[in-house]
Structure 1
Amino acid sequence: MPETMPVTSTVLPVLPPLGVQAERLIELGVHVIAGLPAAELRAFAEAAAAGEGAAAGAGALLAVHPDRAPASALAPLLYRDGKPGFVVTDMPDVDLFTPLETVALPDTPLYLLTALDRGDQMANWSPDEALPALTARARTPLVLTEGIHWVVQQPAVLERNHCFMTIGSRLRKSNGALDARTPAIWISNGTGRDGRERRNAPKVGWCWAGNRHTWLGFASAEGRRV
Structure 2
Amino acid sequence: MRGVGLIVAEREGPPVSLTSTAPAPTATATTPTVREQVERLVALGVPELAGVSAEELRSAASKLRGGARSILIVHPSLVPVSRLVPLLSRSGKPGFVVSDFSDLDQFEPLDDIDVPDRPLYLVHEVERGDDLRNWSPDEALPEIVSRGRRPLTVSEGVSWFLQQPDQLEPNFCAMTIGSRLRRPAGGLDARTPAIWISSGTGRDGRAVRGAPKLGWCWAGNRHTWLGFASAARC
Same fold, judged at TM 0.5 (above) = yes
Displacement of 1:102 in angstroms is 1.1
Whole-angstrom distance in 2 between the partners of 1:35 and 1:101? 29
**Who is 2:45 aligned against?**
29
* Count of residue pairs brought into register by the alignment: 215
Contact (CA 8 Å) 2:134, 2:225: kept in 1 or not?
Answer: yes
Which residue type is aligned with residue 41 of structure 1? L
2:61 aligns with 45
Supply the distance in 2 between the matched residues of 1:67 and 1:178 (Cα, whole angstroms). Answer: 22
- Report what 2:14 is aligned to: 2
Asked if structure 2 preserves the Cα contact closer than 8 Å seen for 1:115 and 1:223, the reply is no
Aligned twin of 2:35: 19
User: Structure 1 stretches of 5 or more lacking a match?
Assistant: none
Partner SS state of residue 131, structure 1: helix
Amino acid in structure 2 at the alignment position of 1:104: D
Question: 1:45 deviation in Å?
Answer: 3.5
Q: Which residue, out of 117, 121, 135, partners 1:125? A: 135
Offset of 1:135 from its aligned partner?
Answer: 1.1
- For structure 2, the 5+ residue unaligned runs are 1-12, 18-22
TM-score, normalised relative to structure 1: 0.89
2:150 to 135, 140, 143: 140
In structure 1, give the amino acid aligned to 2:14. Answer: P
Task: Render the CA deviation track for 1:67-123: whole Å, top value 9, x for unaligned.
Answer: 221111001000001000000001111111111111110111111000000000001
| TM-score, with length taken from structure 2 | 0.86
CA gap 1:4/1:141 in 2 versus in 1, 3 angstroms: farther
The equivalent position to 1:60 in structure 2, one of 63, 66, 70, is 70
The equivalences for 1:135-214 within 5 A come to 135-214=145-224
2:25, 2:82 → 1: CA distance? 29
**CA offset at residue 47 of structure 1?**
4.2
Q: 2:231 maps to what in 1?
A: 221
Q: Distance in 2 between matches of 1:31 and 1:15?
A: 22
Alpha carbon RMSD of aligned pairs, Å?
1.9
Distance (whole Å) between structure 1 residues aligned to residue 59 and residue 78 of structure 2: 18
Q: Secondary structure at the match of 1:197?
A: helix
Q: Is the 8 A contact 2:153 2:179 kept in 1?
A: yes
Cross-structure match for 1:116:
126
Once the two structures are superposed, residues 169-217 of structure 1 have per-residue CA deviations (whole angstroms, 9 ceiling, x without a partner) of 0111101111111000000000011010000000000000000111100
Counterpart secondary structure, 2:203 = helix
Q: Secondary structure at the match of 2:57?
A: helix
Partner SS, residue 73 of structure 2: strand
Aligned to 1:78: 88
Q: Distance in 2 between matches of 1:171 and 1:47?
A: 31
The answer on whether the counterparts of 1:34 and 1:64 sit within 8 Å (CA) in structure 2 is no
Q: Distance in 2 between matches of 1:73 and 1:177?
A: 27
Amino acid at match of 1:10: A
Inter-partner Cα distance in structure 2 for 1:209 and 1:116 = 22
